[in-house]
Chain A
Amino acid sequence: MHRRRFVGIAAITALALAAPAAAQEKSIVVASTTSTEQSGLFKHILPPFERKTGIKVRVVAQGTGQALDMGKRGDADVVFVHDRDAELKFVAEGYGVDRREVMYNDFVVVGPSADPAKVRGSKDVIDALKKIAAAQAPFVSRGDRSGTHAAELRFWKAAGIDLAAGRGGWYRETGSGMGPTLNTAAAMNAYALADRGTWLSFKNRQSLVVAVEGDGKLFNQYGVMLVNPEKHRHVKKELGMAFVDWIASPEGQAAIASYKIGGEQLFFPNHRK
């Protein structure tokens, strides 16, 4: 009898847990990037959207590459990322529809205040990377196919640096998100490319400071799109589009513009119809 009671308790516990998952309210899954989640942007812009529409937004934050993969597999309704080339490919291959460019911020190169490569204050990211490579100063890379990683690789290519030689030496790939990469850079007194949003909200800077900013190449565009409902029939087309449209609407754009940390605006709305 005791054994039966134990089995009963176990079964009830398991059921009680599965129940809330079954009783779903109106909700969508948004595959997005660590920069939008960890910078606190979603915490700021989602409440007004959820209040207005009653749609609960469930954000899974990963690198852009992973987020797009999630969309390809049909595990998200909406993708909100920042790698223009990869996004256009995603749409061209039929995985995404109704892509809208909705906001931008910029990348910065951060580095130790001691500045061993003498790049601080530079406005030329390509030249700065050349100097970092020449000085063999430690550089920490995301190495995770994120939007930031893709941008970084483009810059290295433009600088004509062969990374294979530096790998494991001065060039170190963490294969992790922006935050962990900044933690690593702070601990190693290394340079790193970061999106400004994550950088501004990052708390464990130690001796890291912004070394390079203001180069037009450091422009970082974000796009939002619906996962193609024709590829994945379970995609919540109407709820997902409500989100995509809201982000691009004057209301959503104003919400993005109003997000500030320490008086500094993190993302700049730039949707054009």
Chain B
Amino acid sequence: MSERDAFSTALALIGGADPALWGIVGLSLAVSLAAVALASLVGLPLGAALAVFRFPGRGALVTLFNGMMGLPPVVVGLAVYLLLSRAGPLGGLGLLFTPAAMVIAQTILIVPIVAALARQTVEDAWREYEEQMRSLGATPRRSVATLIWDTRFSLATAVLAGLGRASAEVGAVMIVGGNIDGLTRVMTTAIALETSKGDLPLALGLGIVLIALIVLINAAASAMKAVAQARFG
């Protein structure tokens, strides 16, 4: 197998507009974007609060979140599997082997990333504006909201880092999704499957499509950021 095989396979995949491939791409995007949205809802305020509030154990919590940025996907997948399994505490929901289970696992994976990076960004801004905000009589709660809004362009990087992690991981979605054809098969699990079948050009071709997709999303985010920054400063 040569690299040209993989590239021509990738081009054929994109050009051929195989509906099965687009289903897989669409599900990958939907799952990872939903996880990023949920993780941002939790992680951004959490990170900002960690930056602003002072309480005992804060240092330990910051270290914990920094450490959990490296959560092994396969462990998160296993934990969510046991949770959602019919024999597990949340088995009654019947969520195992559904896209919803994949969103849950990826959300858990990326909350620490979004929170830890947001904490750093907001803390830097807080250091700069703390006196000013206090003199204006802003409560810490109010400051958290204001700081998130003021640092939104920098926070976009935290969100994109989360998205990168979500769309690239295979360990968690493989376990909780089951890689079911037409239901829970995403780009990374499809790549793992084709590698298993020994169809390396197809696996690498899918990989090239995935990487192109991630680069495209990041380019779109940068462009949006540039436009928004120009308009709103």
Interface residues of A (CB under 8 A from B): 2-3, 6-7, 9-11, 13-14, 16-18, 20-21, 29, 34, 38, 42-43, 58-61, 72-75, 177-180, 182-183, 186, 201-205, 232, 234
Show 14 A/B contacts (Cβ-Cβ < 8 Å), sorted by A: A6-B40, A7-B41, A11-B41, A18-B100, A34-B196, A38-B197, A42-B181, A75-B97, A178-B196, A179-B195, A186-B198, A203-B197, A204-B1, A234-B94
Q: Is the CB of A204 within 8 A of B198?
A: yes
Please, which residue of chain A has its CB at the minimum distance from the CB of B82?
A73
User: Within residues 39 to 98 of chain B, which ones have a CB less than 8 A from any CB in chain A?
Assistant: 40-41, 85-88, 91, 94-98
Residues of A within 8 A of B103 (CB): 14, 17-18
Whether, in the assembled complex, B171 has its beta carbon less than 8 Å from a beta carbon of chain A, the answer is no
Complex contact A182–B198 (CB within 8 A): yes
B196 touches A179 (CB 8 A): yes
Contact B149 A2 (CB under 8 A): yes
Main secondary structure of the interface of A (DSSP, over half): helix
Q: Does B33 have its Cβ within 8 Å of any Cβ on chain A?
A: yes
B226: Cβ under 8 A from any A Cβ:
no
Chain B residues, Cβ within 8 Å of A73: 85-88
Residues of B within 8 A of A205 (CB): 198
Given contacts A3-B149, A14-B38, A17-B34, contact A58 B198 (CB under 8 A): no
Inter-chain contact A21/B198, CB cutoff 8 Å: no
Q: How far is A35 from B109 in the complex, measured between Cα atoms in Å?
A: 31
State the Cβ distance, B69 to closest chain A Cβ, in Å.
21
**Interchain nearest-CB distance for A20 vs B (Å):** 7
In the bound assembly, the distance between CA atoms of A178 and B198 in angstroms comes to 10
State whether A203 and B199 are in contact (beta carbons under 8 Å apart), knowing that A10-B40, A21-B95, A21-B98 are contacts in the complex: yes
A58 B180 Cβ-Cβ under 8 A: yes
A contact residues around B87 at 8 Å (CB): 72-75
CA A204 to CA B96, docked complex, whole Å: 33
Kindly state whether residue B164 has any CB partner on chain A within 8 Å. Answer: no
A204 & B200 in contact (Cβ 8 Å cutoff): yes
Q: Are A234 and B97 in contact (CB under 8 A)?
A: no
